[in-house]
Amino acid sequence: MKAVILVGGEATRLLPLTCNTPKVMVPVINIPFLEHVIHYLSQHQIKDIILAQRHLSQSIKSYFGNGSRFEVELTCTIEDIPLGTAGAVKNAEQYLDDTFLVLNGDIYTDLDIAAMIDFHLKRKAKATIALTPVDDPTSYGLIETNAQGRVTRFLEKPQWSEVTTNMINAGTYVLEPEALNRIPPQANFSFEHELFPLLLDQGEPVYAYTSSAYWIDIGTPEKYFQLHRDLFSGNSARHSCPIGDEVLVGEQSYIHPTVHIRGPAVIGSNCIIGHKVKLTGPVVIGSGGTIQEDSVIEESIIWRNAQLGQRVSLKNSIVADNCRLNDNTTIEDSILGDSVTVVSGCKLEPGSKIWSGTTVEVP
């Protein structure tokens, strides 16, 4: 079976982290998010994967190539104009001649794909939509079903008085190629608002597969942070990483004997952690990072090649690639885009979002 990953989704909610980094290349435990998705598909024996992109991303191409390094076959399709979720899959129609899978490129889930595909085939569905429960369904589109799982109604962002279910679209679909016939070529067309309601109105068998497996949309910095916390807590069964006080250190990294680490923590390769540095997890430090003496890092995610000076205090924050935090800087509850420089002695206001390439000089 083939799978289409919708890579070209909107990334503005993840700013400033995605100024120069495609959303699917944002690192999760020091691994690009897309690599997690590809590994997930491969575990379910889906190795023929199409990346539906809005424009050619050189960083995606350089990292993944044709997929052979990951034991999969990758094909890319490019949109000349924005085509929406369904339009992007229509753009890949030439590669889809049998039942296929579609995934939103910003979803991390433990959904049992094999069970969902089996459900779809047994019911002879034209389309099957994965559902997941949420606490507050009023912010989402609800999907109502009958006892057999057949979809009976779509309800977009209901009032609480209208809520009949807490199950929402989980961004994973199984489709038959004929469903693509309803999508006009080279037109902006969505699954959620157009194709699925159209199939339902025409009496086609549209089903919903309900799962309580781990699920999260990483579309905001808060959710991105939450995914790390969940992985370190063992809430997802799919990724093995340090739990509790465990610490994982990459190759050729040096940690001074006086460093105090309370895990969980992941330190990438070629890092230098200096004299009397304190790390309180969950902490992730990307490859090539340097943290100088007496700095304190608490519950933060640091991407690649970050340089932290002496006596830096970093708490509950995300620091993107190639940032430089000079001596005696204090950063809390903040997000720094790539290549940000914070001048010595600066104290950022909690909640700051600093755009790529900025030099922060305000004390």
Residue 341: what residue type? Answer: T
Cβ distance 6 to 104 under 8 Å?
yes
SS3 126: coil
Question: Helices (DSSP H) in 162-274: which residue ranges?
Answer: 196-201, 221-233
Q: State the amino acid at position 226 in one-letter form.
A: Q
Any idea what the Cα angle at residue 110 is, between residues 171 and 59, rounded to 5°? Answer: 65
Q: Is residue 38 within 8 Å of residue 67, measured between CB atoms?
A: yes
Return all residues near 36 (Cβ < 8 A) that are at least 6 apart: 28, 108, 239
| Cα 20 from Cα 16, distance rounded (Å) | 9
CA distance 153 to 318: 40
Indicate the helix (H) or strand (E) that contains 145: strand 141-145
Please check whether residue 252 is in contact with residue 16, taking contact to mean a CB–CB distance below 8 angstroms: no
**How do 127-133 and 167-175 pair as beta strands?**
antiparallel
Q: Which of 61, 90, 124, 157 is catalytic?
A: 157
Question: Exposed (0-12), middle (13-18) or buried (19+): which is 319, by Cβ within 10 Å?
Answer: buried
122 is catalytic: no
**CA–CA dist 220, 240 (Å, integer):** 23
In sequence order, the β-bridge partners of residue 315 are 298, 332
Catalytic annotation, residues: 157
